[in-house]
A and B are shown apart, each in its own frame.
Chain A
Amino acid sequence: MTKSRTTLAPLRKVVTVPATPQRAFELFTAEMGAWWPLRTHSVGKDAAAGVAMESRVGGRIVETLADGSTSIWGTLTAWEPPHRVAFTWHPGHEERHATDVEVLFSPAGDQTRVELVHTGWERHPGTEGARREYDTGWDFVLGKYAEGVAG
């Protein structure tokens, strides 16, 4: 199978920030509510009041709306300060539709390179965590679907 451009391979984004990895990690996680672009990137949009990340494996990323209700965006699967944090990602949807996001922090001179990798579209049954992805839309469209296009 040829991997065509239509395959949604891992999406990687990199940004370099003027901070130590420790501080960069802390700002990313503990202060998520201070920098996350909530107005555009939220379930509640204008009604979104805040978002916070619970800092432990199994902790959740929770959006709070103006009326006090909440929306779970994902659950932390790795908590390794100051190197790595990973979480499932299913804003506005049930966990069975979750994809995976991993954020890596590494020193770059006196700054920190932050790499975000969004994956989880191409799992196959039998691999770890596959049960919840098996036969879901994401798996199909972003993995198997692309095979069909290439073939």
Chain B
Amino acid sequence: MDERDTPLTSGFVSDSLRFVETYEVVLEALGDPTRRRILHRLRAGPAPVNELAAAVPVSRPAVSQHLRVLHRSGLVRYEEVGTRNVYRLDPSGIEPLRGWLDDFWQTALDSYAEHVRRDAERAGQRQEEDPR
């Protein structure tokens, strides 16, 4: 379970995430209405934890847990400002996902193109064996 604490960086995505997991990590982060409310609040600008806690109807420990999930997903990052952690949306959070999707379809289409080429070769061979 240790990997679940690793932020969603490009390297982590390409090394560790596959078909379902990329959906998983984002959907896990966003599948919860409280987390969506936190993100919604962060769209207005960076905010410290206490401000985020005030924006959602859950306990402070629960907010911390939600922020942990969001941080793990790569969608938010934080800076320590004095004794407070100030959270903000991370614009690079989407990049690993986009790169992953790009690789995903590239691999699939390469495999498809290879299949078509083999099919064309077989058709060519059949024509040679059985010329009209």
Contacts and interface: CB of A to CB of B under 8 A. Distances in A.
Interface residues on B, range: 35 or more
Contact of B107 (A7, A31, A40, A97): A40
Interface in B1-50: 18-20, 23-24, 26-27, 29-31, 36, 39, 42-44
Given A19-B120, A137-B26, A6 B111 contact: no
A18 B29 CA distance: 43
Does more than half of chain A's interface fall in helix, strand or loop, or is it mixed?
mixed
A114 to B, nearest CB: 7
A53 B113 CA distance: 18
A147 interface: yes
Range for the number of chain A residues in contact with chain B: 35 or more
Contacts of A15: 109-110, 112-113
Interface of B: 18-20, 23-24, 26-27, 29-31, 36, 39, 42-44, 75, 89, 91-95, 97-98, 101-102, 104-117, 119-120
Interface of A: 4-8, 11, 13, 15-19, 23-24, 27-28, 31, 34-37, 40-43, 45, 90-93, 97, 114, 116, 118, 135-138, 140-142, 144-149, 151
